[in-house]
Amino acid sequence: MKKDDVPQDGNNMHDGQFRQLFYATDNTGQYVQVNSVGWEPENVAMQQAWEEINARVEKARAQVVAGEISPVAYYMEKNIMDLPLLASYVGKFQWQVKRHMKTSVFNRLSDKMLRRYAAAFKITVQELKNIK
Amino acid sequence: MDEVLEVMSDTQFHHVQTAHCESGVISNIFRHYGLQISEPMAFGIGAGIFFGHLPFVKVNGVPGTTYRVVPGAIFKRVAKRLGVKIASQSFSSPEKGMQALDRVLEQGRPVGLLSSVYYLPYFPPAYRFHFNAHNLVAYGKDGDNYLISDPIMEQVTEIDPKSLAEARFAKGFPAPKGKMYYPVEMPKTISLEQPIRDGIKQACSDMLNIPLPMFGVKGIRFLAKRLKHYPEKVGDRKAVLYLGNIIRMQEEIGTGGAGFRFMYAAFLQEAAGILKRDELSALSAELTSIGDTWRNFAFNAGRVCKSRTANNISYAELSEMLMQCAAEEEVLFRKLSKVKL
C-alpha cells in the first residue's frame, strides 16, 4: 500500500479518540508509518457486529419483559458475554447459569447469588431485578 | 513516602505509538532498557506473521480467524533470541497482583501488563470487546492512578486502579491472571543478524510446514473453501457476520494493515539492510503487493457485507481472491525459505 493510498474514512467508531497506525510505502518504496482515522470495509464490519449485538440485547429485553427468561440472560447479552464467560465470572457451572436464566429459578436465587451476578454485570441488585 | 513518590513520578517513559500491542510493547519497553528495536523488527524476529482459521473456536458464535501467531509467542521468542532475561509473574488474586505491580513501579521499572480491552476506559467504546490478550505498559503512578503507555494509542494515558485491576483479572479465555513482565537483564552486546535468521526460518516453517489444514498457507485455502459455501450453510445473515469478522481480524486496529503483511514486509526491508541481502528487499516488495491483494479482498468483502445480498457469485469470487492470496503467499514463503542468509 502506498502512503497516499492509506484510507481516511472517518466515522464515529473511533470516537475521534485515536488514529490507528498503518505501514505503507513512500515514493522510493521505503516503509513509513502513517496514521489513519479508519477504512470503510472495517467500519462496515464493525457496525454490523454491533447491530447484531444490539439486536440480541433487544430480543433478550423483550423476552424478559414477557416473562420468558430472567434478567441474567438479558444482562449477559448486554455485557457481550457468552455462557462460559459469565459462568466463570460468577464461579458457577454453565448448566447452573443456564438454569438461572429461567424466571422461576431466578426468583428463588439467594441474595448472595444475586450480588454475584450484579458484580459481574457491574450493576446493583436492584438494577438486576428490574431491568430498564 | 514523599521521596518514593517523587522517584516514581520521575520515571520517564518514551512512548511511541505502534500498530500492534505485543510487538509495540516489546519495542517500547526494550528501548527503555537501552535496546533499540523497531516494531517490525520485533515482529519479524518473533516470527509473528501467520494465518489460522479455526471454525470450531467460536467467538460470540463466529468462527475465529487469525493473521498472527498465538498471543505471547512474539514476546517470548524475541526475548529468547536477543538474550533478554524477563521476569514474568501471574497472580491468584487482584490484591496480590496490584501490590506486586506497585512494588515494581516503586523501583522505577516500567512493566508490561496483560489485560482485557473490555475494562480499559480510555478505549473507544466500539472497540471494547472481551479480548483478553491486550498488552500495555504501566510506567508509574500519579496519586492512585496508573500512568499507562498503551502502544496502540497516540498518547500516554492514565487509568484508575479499579479499572486496571478489572482489566488485569478479567475472566474468560485466556484469563490474563494479572500477568506482568519486565526485563531484568539486558545482554551486553546485541547482534540482530542471527535472531533475524531464526525468525525468518520459523515464519517460513509456520506458514508452509504445519501438517494441519487450518494453519499457514493451507489455512488460507481452508478458509477460502469454507467461505464459498457460507450462504447456503449458515444463511445470509450469519454469512455476513462471518465475513465481517474476517475483515475485522485483518484490518482492525493492531495489524498495521493487510493482516500484518505490511508490517512483515517492513521487517524484510529492514532485515535486508542489516544482513546486506538484496533478495530480502525484493521479497519485501513482493509481500507489499500480496498485502494489496489482501486489502482488495477486504474491500470486496466489505461491499458484500454492506449490500447484504448474499448471491453465491459474490462469495465464490471472494473465495477465489483468497485462493489467490494463498498462491502468492506460498510462492513468497518458498522463496524466502531458500534465501541464503
Rounded to whole angstroms, the Cα distance separating B97 from B91 reads 5
Of A15, A41, A81, the CB nearest to B124: A15
Instruction: Specify whether A102 is located in the same domain as A59.
Output: yes
Predicted local confidence at residue B61, as pLDDT:
84
Taking residue B37's Cβ as centre, other Cβ atoms within 10 Å add up to 21
What one-letter code names the amino acid at B234?
Answer: V
CB contact under 8 A, A24 and B262: yes
Of B248, B253, B266, the CB nearest to A45: B248
Instruction: Specify whether A116 is located in the same domain as A73.
Output: yes
Q: How many CA atoms lie within 13 A of B252 on its CB side?
A: 23
Predicted local confidence at residue B4, as pLDDT:
40
Q: Where are the domains of chain B?
A: 2-36+85-185, 193-338
Q: Dihedral angle at the C-alpha atoms of B95, B8, B182, B154, nearest 10 degrees?
A: 100
Rounded to whole angstroms, the Cα distance separating A31 from B40 reads 10
Instruction: Specify whether A81 is located in the same domain as A107.
Output: yes
CB contact under 8 A, A80 and B118: yes
Chain A touched by B290 (CB under 8 Å): no
Instruction: Specify whether A24 is located in the same domain as A67.
Output: no
Instruction: Specify whether A26 is located in the same domain as A52.
Output: no
Non-local (6+) Cβ contacts of B98 within 8 A are B161, B164, B165, B168, B178
Of A1, A30, A39, the CB nearest to B291: A1
**Three-state SS at B294:** helix
Predicted local confidence at residue A28, as pLDDT:
95
| Strand partners for A34 | A22
Predicted local confidence at residue B101, as pLDDT:
98
Predicted local confidence at residue B204, as pLDDT:
98
Predicted local confidence at residue A18, as pLDDT:
75
Instruction: Specify whether A66 is located in the same domain as A105.
Output: yes
Pick the residue from chain A with its C-alpha nearest to B261.
Answer: A23
Which B residues, 168 through 197, put their C-beta within 8 Å of a C-beta on chain A?
171-173, 175
Rounded to whole angstroms, the Cα distance separating B28 from B147 reads 14
Instruction: Specify whether A52 is located in the same domain as A82.
Output: yes
Judging contacts by C-beta atoms under 8 Å, the chain A residues touching residue B124 are: 13-15, 17-18
Rounded to whole angstroms, the Cα distance separating B39 from B24 reads 6
CB contact under 8 A, B266 and A31: yes
Judging contacts by C-beta atoms under 8 Å, the chain B residues touching residue A41 are: 247, 251, 298-299, 301-303, 305
pLDDT in tens, chain B (341 residues): 333 443 444 578 999 999 999 999 999 999 999 999 999 999 999 999 999 999 998 877 899 999 999 999 999 999 999 999 999 999 999 999 999 999 999 999 999 999 999 999 999 888 899 999 999 999 999 999 999 999 999 999 999 999 999 999 999 888 999 999 999 999 988 899 999 999 999 999 999 999 999 999 999 999 999 999 999 999 988 999 999 999 999 998 789 999 999 999 999 999 999 999 999 999 999 999 999 999 999 999 999 998 876 566 799 999 999 999 999 999 999 999 999 98
CB contact under 8 A, B152 and A88: no
Q: What is the number of structural domains in chain A?
A: 2
The three cell numbers of residue B90 are: 501471574
Average pLDDT per consecutive 10 residues, chain A (132 residues; last block may be shorter): 90 70 96 93 92 96 97 97 95 97 97 97 96 82
Mutate to test the interface with A, among B129, B242, B247 (most CBs of A within 10 A): B247
Backbone angles phi, psi at A116, to 5 degrees: -65, -45
Angle at alpha carbon of residue B247, lines to B24 and A11, rounded to 5°: 80
Instruction: Specify whether A111 is located in the same domain as A96.
Output: yes
Angle at alpha carbon of residue B71, lines to B70 and B74, rounded to 5°: 90
Number of A/B CB contacts below 8 angstroms equals 120
Instruction: Specify whether A28 is located in the same domain as A50.
Output: no
Element (H, E) at A37: none
CB contact under 8 A, B257 and A85: no
Beta strands in chain B (DSSP E): 49-59, 62-68, 85-89, 111-115, 134-142, 145-149, 157-159, 180-185
Q: Please, what is the average pLDDT of chain A? A: 93
DSSP state of B113: E
Judging contacts by C-beta atoms under 8 Å, the chain A residues touching residue B175 are: 88
Predicted local confidence at residue B10, as pLDDT:
54
Which B residues, 2 through 21, put their C-beta within 8 Å of a C-beta on chain A?
17-19
Rounded to whole angstroms, the Cα distance separating B70 from B49 reads 10
Judging contacts by C-beta atoms under 8 Å, the chain A residues touching residue B251 are: 39, 41-42
Q: Which domain holds residue A30?
A: 3-38
> How large is the ipTM?
0.91
B193-338 has CATH 2.60.460 classification:
no
Instruction: Specify whether A95 is located in the same domain as A46.
Output: yes
Of A21, A30, A42, the CB nearest to B248: A42
List the CATH number of the domain containing A59: 1.10.260.40
State the greatest distance between any 2 C-alpha atoms of chain A, in Å, as a whole number: 70
Judging contacts by C-beta atoms under 8 Å, the chain A residues touching residue B245 are: 45, 49
| Strand partners for A25 | A2, A31
Instruction: Specify whether A26 is located in the same domain as A47.
Output: no
Pick the residue from chain A with its C-alpha nearest to B18.
Answer: A21
Predicted local confidence at residue B186, as pLDDT:
93
Pick the residue from chain A with its C-alpha nearest to B245.
Answer: A45
Nearest partner of B121 among B90, B145, B94, judged by Cα: B145
Chain A touched by B238 (CB under 8 Å): no
Q: What topology is assigned to B2-36+85-185 in CATH?
A: Cathepsin B; Chain A (3.90.70)
In contact, B156 and B24? CB cutoff 8 Å: no
Predicted local confidence at residue A12, as pLDDT:
61
Predicted local confidence at residue B59, as pLDDT:
79
Closest Cα in chain B, distance from residue A67 (Å): 25
Instruction: Specify whether A55 is located in the same domain as A109.
Output: yes
What one-letter code names the amino acid at A101?
Answer: M
Measured CA to CA in angstroms, residue A73 lies from A127, B172, B303 at distances of: 14, 18, 34
